[in-house]
Amino acid sequence: MRVDVNVSVNGGQRCEIKNLFSTSAVVHAIKAEFERQKRDIQNGKTIEPETRGWDGKNTWKLRGKEDAVDYRYMPDPELMPISVGPEIVEQIKQQLPRLPDDIFQELLKPPFSVPVVDARTMMAGSSTKLVEYYYKVYNAFKANGGTKPSVISNWIVHRLLGELNQNNKQFDESVVPATFLADLMVRVEKKKITKTSGALILKHVVANGLETNQTIDDLIDQFDLGKAEDSAQDVHVALQTVCQKVIAKHPDVIDRIKTNPKSIKFLVGQVMREFQGRVDAASIESMLKSLL
C-alpha cells in the first residue's frame, strides 16, 4: 500500500507527503507536517506548496510545486465551501456508537472485571448482542443483590454458550432472558441452591425453553433441587454416612490422595452424585478431609 496525503493549516497552502506505506505512517506523518506548518506560521514564515517525503520522524522537501495544476485537482465551481462548526462536530460525536476498543477496555476494568479471554469471546464477530446481554445481566444481578459480578462472564461464556453449542442453537436472549440468568446466579451466590443445581437448571432451560410464567422456584420444585440443608435436619449425619460409604468403596483413590491431594475431587463428585447436587462441593470436601 502506498498513500499520498495533503496537509494544510487554516486553509493555507497544501503540502503533499508522498509514498506513505502504512496507516501508522499516515497518522504520524500528518501530525509531524501539521506541527511543522504551525511552527513556521507562528514564526512568520510562508508555507510554500511542495512535495515532501517522510523519514519516520519528520517530513522533508522533495521538490516545489509551481501552481495548483501540479496537484492534478481542480476545484468544482458548483460546490460551495462548507464550514463545520465545533458545535456540529460535538453533536455528531455524541451520536456515534461506542467504539469496540472502548467497550473492550471497559469490560476489563472494575466494576465488571471480565477476564480477557471472556471479553474477547463476547466481542467476537460483528454482532453486539452478547455484550448487550452481558450488560443487562450485570444490571439485573446488581439489582437483585448480587455482590460478585466477576462470575457473570463465566456463566455467559462458559455455561450458557456451552449449552447452546451442545444443543446446536444460536445465541438469542429469548432462550434465557437476562433477568432469569441474573436471578439464577444470585441464588447460587447466596447459597439458596448449589452451583451444580444452577447449572442443571440452565441446561434444562436451554434444551427445553421456559414455559409461560415459569420461574426458577418452579424448576427447583420440579426437579427437587433445593439444598439439602434447607430440608433435612440431620444433613450432617447423612453427609457423613455417604462420605464413609464412598471412601470404603474407593480404597485405590484413598491411596492416590496421599501423593496427589487433588484426587479427592473424584470422591467429591461421587458424593455429589449421591445427593444429586443438593449439597455444595465445599461442604463435601470438608467432610471427606475430616474422615481421611
pLDDT band at 227 (very low <50, low <70, confident <90, very high): low
pLDDT at 162: 95
What ranges do the domains of the chain cover?
3-75, 100-226, 231-291
Tell me how far apart the alpha carbons of residues 268 and 247 are, in angstroms, rounded to a whole number: 10
Q: For residue 14, which of 57, 84, 80, 70 has the smallest C-alpha distance?
A: 70
Residue 73 has pLDDT above 80, yes or no: no
What is the number of other CB atoms lying within 10 angstroms of the CB of residue 255? 11
Residue 85 is placed in which grid cell? 462548526
Q: Is 189 helix (H, G, I), strand (E, B) or coil?
A: helix
Check residue 229 and give its pLDDT. 52
Here the cell at position 25 is 505512517
Q: What integer best gives the mean pLDDT of the chain?
A: 88
Which strands, in side-by-side order, build the sheet including 50-54? 3-7, 15-20, 50-54, 59-64
Region 247-259: mean pLDDT is 90
**Is 80 exceeded by the pLDDT of residue 170?**
yes
C-alpha cell at 260: 496427589
- Residue 77's pLDDT band, with cuts at 50, 70 and 90, is confident
Does the structure show a pLDDT above 90 at 78? no
The distance in angstroms from the start CA to the end CA of the chain is: 69
What's the CA angle centered on 287, arms 283 and 288, to 5 degrees? 115
For residues 274-291, give the mean pLDDT: 82
Q: Which fold has domain 231-291?
A: Arc Repressor Mutant, subunit A (1.10.10)
3-state secondary structure of 63: strand
In the block, which residue shows the cell 462420605?
Answer: 243
C-alpha 182/C-alpha 151 separation (Å) is 11
User: Is 269 in contact with 275 (CB distance < 8 Å)?
Assistant: no
Report the alpha-carbon distance of residue 166 to residue 90 in Å, rounded.
Answer: 47
**Is there a contact between 270 and 226 (Cβ–Cβ < 8 Å)?**
no
Q: What is the pLDDT of residue 69?
A: 54
Mean pLDDT, residues 131-140 taken together = 97
Q: Is the pLDDT of residue 274 over 90?
A: no
- Is the Cα dihedral 139, 140, 143, 148 positive or negative? negative
User: Using CA atoms, how far apart are residues 142 and 152, in angstroms rounded to an integer?
Assistant: 11
Structure confidence at residue 185 (pLDDT): 97
* Of 109, 198, 115, 186, the residue nearest 147 (C-alpha): 186
Please give the average per-residue pLDDT across 18-30, as a whole number. Answer: 93
Write out the three cell numbers for 212. 409461560
Q: Is the pTM of this model over 0.85?
A: no
